[in-house]
Chains A and B, each alone.
Chain A
């Protein structure tokens, strides 16, 4: 295969003159012509468009990592780019793969093709064609009915009913109520049993979150022709490569305005570490009143409003993706819109994953609870005690800030967390990135990825992505499971 080095997106082969080329809505470039696609190279070397290939390949703990990858390759017969990028964090990858394997392939309430179709539906909410392609293949392999791939009109009513909850879960999970659950569970012949529903919800949340990871880490389409054949699928589905590379080349006003000039990014890092230290050591100093703490959460919530990701008013969704979604205009709306404060904050202490979520999930879909529990724990506690070039750093506060900030955007509040910390630790460009990746992952660009934490290693940025992804998944699960619990009581 003829590969080009990392270069400007899509421009390499689009040069040939031909009148019938369509113009991609996103990047205003001409997609490749179909017959040339056989030789069309991947955009960049390596699994990610954001991360240089050698970064992915050289990480610590090589032996362990190789073993794990070999094992994964021999069980699934492929080594997709997600796995490769995640393998920077071997420990995490192991629990990730285990839970994904369990929900896709092991005993469970849903038939195999259903699971992949649900994955497609979930990924389609974020127009993540990478995941869609992957699961279209799997769907067909597991004996799915090819007709379903024509779009939502062709699927059974039962699956269609899942649309509503898919939509809410992906963009505004706080709107899920027990009525939604009832609608799914009590509809005569098309009803979902609770175990099936829980399985579906877990899958949906998993794939929404995974879409965040895919866009956040700029996962490249699969290039190996005999594995998942991303190249071929580009041809088949007419996706513009920009969909896959996520580099929208769109200027983002809020980005340029923020404070990441070429200024002293080194001192930035120092400052961040200084702040972390202060937070860890002398909490007494700033002893804020309780009322103050409460308002800080509100403030953070409100402030996330301001963190907007540019002018993407009318997005053009390619038809190949849109056939899997209903109501494509439905997107993330800020939890805290000014003027409408009627939405109650989700109090994390009243419905925690450890106490409540786990018990319910495990009861209805046995063992997945343990796997997810392990995964959440793993990602929450994962640390190498390093920050950029510094070693022996306790990153707990930083990780907690990232995790809680995601939950904050979904309206989940921890009583025992001082949301002032978020403000101190997460700079604006990082907030923009977080918000984009969790709420509108399809809009993530390489610029955004590059613009925060310049001193940090790529592996650390992947770590951030993992945290965001799991925090998002947990948030979605908490809302969905709480609704199911309410339905049960």
Chain B
């Protein structure tokens, strides 16, 4: 039959023609359906029920089926369907639960044929049998499906879904007896029309209501469903268990799905809310629609392909009271606008870069790189000859760049975090100390910054202008390189631009920003670096000299610091005799002394030195007029912003803490909070719990400060009687037993008690540490592998103490990557609770709060 229809159209020579066009309806449409001959369309809605004929370039209203003076709810249609066998036959589902059939062959004005008032609630869907003339199926809100024989007055059979409302019913195209029904609770049921007592199969297709389904016109086993969970899924029903074979994620709940004729993998969808467009997806490429129709101004409520065998004409009705005919060649193809380049970091800092092949191969700068650590892999997507769509560029090249582990190392971060002094001493001392730390790690620019800060804020007026000028000039010239990649031969416009700009050097901030971006193209290998014409030792030597000068001045005016002095604030006032922390620190300092890989970073910074911009005039006036210290605040602020922008949020936060009120007002609260959270997040990823707590404590942001005050109480139960312990942590009031015994020395632990979250045994921090050096089992002999547990849950490490090299830090190192914008930590971590509050960390948090 279908074949016949097609032949006749072909024979008749009336291949469909037309253009994109629309007509205004008087009221919003709820559903549309086409006549078999593709020449007429029926539109139904609450206040409309009309038939339009589709002419060459317009819609012409043929018939208004809403007759009678009094509007009846029977005309208020939720759905309409035109019989595909008999062009005089229509059926509508009314919102009041009535199913109405219409016979266009009736001579009277009122074409209403039959009225079935069997459903108690709104009927959501009606469906004619594809080959049987008199069989009509309906699905209703009341949870029932009913099958009607149009020759009889009542329903032939009733199917109870035994669950919530029915949203859609569809006869299978090929299986004469089968139909599918979708439900509000996310289920899909398959029924045999002869067996009304029980469904054949049922499976859960979506989370939330399944609004629609459609059988594939050719492939008998495929059923597409769309749900409120914004997904379109394609199920293969041939197997015994329905198998999901494709899934398309859309941006709004899916109201209708319709397979595209003659295209095996294409499906048209429209959504229930918010999104007004109609999409045609290739289910094999679920990420981007292959075509899109954007004409409607309100949600599209009905879509239908104009002809069973013609894939180029789509009709749609909408709540905006229009009826559209869309022509495929007018569709917009989102792929045109898609960005065909992709860039992504791997867990270990490798970088993959995919781009159009033409773009990469045509680049003349791309030179073969011998003996590198880079393994480019190229993929080429073959054009599918059966594909009806031509994608703009379906071939792309993917390059993968490996980073060597060392350049991605974050050792400098850990060392810096541990060694920086942030409070407790006069400003000048803090600055000097931190400068030294930075210098020790070969981070000269940071060292310079600290030195400058000291000069600006604590020894104003005695600095010789020449020195100041000099050091500032230098400060901007040497940039720390935190993370370098062999990205050099990626033909990025960024690199070349910055190379151009570098010679200008007129505007300081702009220049710095440009330079920072150019670090992207620098790498470890000096011979590969373009800017390496400047001898590295020249830079370094120069810096040394500066610093000596500065230290000299320091000796000349020690008294300037006096008013800066504040009472030392102990970050960890230890309340007990066990001295755990110093040992931990010692351990760390040992590590810091060892040679480390980031040492050569400074050498690789090989930017052309910026012309020393003139600050002489400023420094003169500074000398004479005694400018207030906040004269420099904007510059300091810019410096901090620069560091944060570059990914070195550590420096920004440290300076912020050290300068305290001097600079705080210059930077808006939100930025500060953002920096703090990023830094704290980083510290916690490196398991530097103590330092992160110190930072939290020292921060002046309320939002940050209160991080420390959340969940500072640990409620513990007595290990003997299992009842909550009261005030003292080591003795139980109820059973008069000492609860917290050290599993190693079997004495009561007063003070820092560290315990395994896995088996809840523990003891003195030092004892446990010592124990775990030699054994990975629990000292209590319970058999738990405490040491393993630590690796398994690295973010919530059961043991907190010295950090052994664990595989996690390298994975975190991706965060403060160069070229990525702004602060290192992701903003999504804001407000996160402290992970792994246990042992010493918990103790520290508690005491931190007590200290305030």
Contact = CB atoms under 8 A, between A and B. Distances in A.
Interface of A: 283, 287, 290-291, 293-294, 347, 349-350, 354-356, 358-360, 363, 370, 373, 414-416, 485, 488-489
A355 B211 contact: yes
B273 A290 contact: no
Contacts of B228: 354-355, 358-359
Contacts of A373: 208
A360 B96 contact: no
A428 B358 CA distance: 79
Interface in B616-657: none
A342 B354 CA distance: 61
B252 interface: yes
A360 B97 contact: no
Contacts of B72: 290-291
Nearest to A357: B273
Nearest to B73: A290
A354 B253 CA distance: 11
Nearest to B121: A416
Contacts of A485: 273-274
B184 interface: yes
B273 A415 contact: no
Interface string B17-61: 000000000000000000000000000001000000000000000
Contacts of B298: 489
Given A415-B76, A415-B122, A290 B96 contact: yes
B792 interface: no
Contacts of A489: 276, 297-299
Given A354-B209, A363-B252, A415 B95 contact: yes
A355 B96 contact: no
B46 to A, nearest CB: 7
A394 to B, nearest CB: 13
Cβ-closest 10 pairs across A and B? A415-B95, A359-B273, A415-B96, A290-B72, A349-B95, A416-B97, A416-B122, A416-B121, A359-B253, A290-B73
A293 B96 contact: yes
B247 interface: no
Interface of B: 46, 70, 72-74, 76, 78, 94-97, 117, 119-122, 141, 184, 208-209, 211, 228, 252-253, 272-274, 276, 297-299
A293 B73 CA distance: 9
Nearest to B253: A359
Main secondary structure of the interface of B (DSSP, over half): loop
B274 A360 contact: yes
A283 B119 CA distance: 11
Contacts of B276: 489
Contacts of B184: 354
B715 to A, nearest CB: 10
Nearest to A485: B273
Contact of A416 (B46, B70, B120, B252): B120
14 contacts: A287-B117, A290-B73, A293-B96, A347-B95, A349-B76, A350-B46, A355-B273, A356-B273, A360-B273, A415-B76, A415-B97, A416-B97, A416-B119, A489-B297
B443 to A, nearest CB: 37
Nearest to A349: B95
Given A349-B95, A359-B272, A416-B122, 10 more contacts: A290-B74, A355-B211, A355-B228, A356-B273, A358-B228, A373-B208, A415-B76, A416-B121, A416-B141, A489-B298
B740 to A, nearest CB: 23
Contacts of A293: 73, 96
Contact of B95 (A283, A291, A358, A416): A416
A347 B273 contact: no
B73 A283 contact: no
Nearest to A291: B70
B714 to A, nearest CB: 15
Nearest to B164: A377
Contacts of B121: 416
A287 B96 CA distance: 13
B319 to A, nearest CB: 8
A398 to B, nearest CB: 15
Nearest to A358: B228
A478 B833 CA distance: 36
Given A283-B120, A416-B95, A347 B73 contact: no
Contacts of B297: 489
B642 to A, nearest CB: 29
B368 to A, nearest CB: 49
A360 B271 CA distance: 12
Contacts of B274: 359-360, 363, 485, 488
Contacts of B208: 358, 370, 373
Q: Which of A287, A370, A415, A416 has the most chain B CB atoms inside 10 A of its CB?
A: A416
A291 B68 CA distance: 12
A415 B94 contact: yes
Contacts of A355: 209, 211, 228, 253, 272-273
A416 B141 CA distance: 9
A481 to B, nearest CB: 10
A415 B140 CA distance: 13
Contacts of B73: 290, 293-294, 415
Contacts of A290: 72-74, 96
Contacts of B252: 359, 363
Q: Which of B122, B297, B298 has the most chain A CB atoms inside 10 A of its CB?
A: B122
Contacts of A350: 46
A116 to B, nearest CB: 17
A347 B117 contact: no
Contacts of B94: 415
A489 B252 CA distance: 14
A485 B298 CA distance: 10
A488 B298 CA distance: 10
B184 to A, nearest CB: 6
A414 B78 CA distance: 13
A356 B95 contact: no
A293 to B, nearest CB: 7
A339 B97 CA distance: 31
A75 to B, nearest CB: 13
A349 B72 CA distance: 15
Q: Which of B211, B252, B272 has the most chain A CB atoms inside 10 A of its CB?
A: B272
A298 to B, nearest CB: 13
Contacts of A356: 272-273
B838 to A, nearest CB: 21
Nearest to B75: A290
Contacts of A370: 208
A363 B252 CA distance: 8
Nearest to B141: A416
A224 B252 CA distance: 48
A349 B272 contact: no
Contacts of B70: 291
Contacts of B120: 283, 416
Nearest to A350: B46
B272 A416 contact: no
A119 B95 CA distance: 37
A349 B120 CA distance: 14
Contacts of A363: 252, 273-274
Given A287-B117, A359-B274, A415-B94, A347 B122 contact: no
Nearest to A347: B46
Contacts of B211: 355
Contacts of A283: 120
A416 B96 contact: yes
Contacts of A416: 95-97, 119-122, 141
Contact of A349 (B74, B119, B122): B122
B735 to A, nearest CB: 23
A342 B228 CA distance: 34
